[in-house]
Amino acid sequence: MKPQCKVCGAAVPADATQCPACGAEQPKKTKLLPLAAFMLIVILVLQAYMKDDAQEASEPAPTAPSSEQQSGS
């Protein structure tokens, strides 16, 4: 099934920029879905990365016993 012209209803080839019957400009097909999916993946990865950083920052760092406390002097 070929796309139809929005102005005159004639069949238009999928790669045409103008209708062959009336010359009306045909809307360009956007690749919005792949772009939206890519952006969603990037946002989720960044969110997971930032969550890990926040957890590491909130946990107290383990402290090694100092040599002064062990010797007792």
pLDDT per residue as tens digits for the range 6-45:
999 999 998 889 999 999 999 887 788 889 999 999 999 9
Inside any domain, residue 69: no
In the chain, how many domains are there? 1
pLDDT at 58 over 70: no
pLDDT score recorded for residue 62: 64
The pLDDT value given to residue 51:
85
Q: Computed from CA positions of residues 7, 10, 15, 17, in that sequence, does the dihedral angle turn out positive or negative?
A: negative
Position 68 pLDDT exceeds 60: no
Q: Report if residue 58 sits inside a domain.
A: no
Question: What is the pLDDT, as a whole number, of residue 70?
Answer: 56
For 25-53, give one letter per residue: b (16+ CB within 10 A) or e: ebeeeeeeeeeeeeeeeeeeeeeeeeeee
Domain span including residue 11: 1-46
Residue 13 lies in a domain: yes
Residue 7 lies in a domain: yes
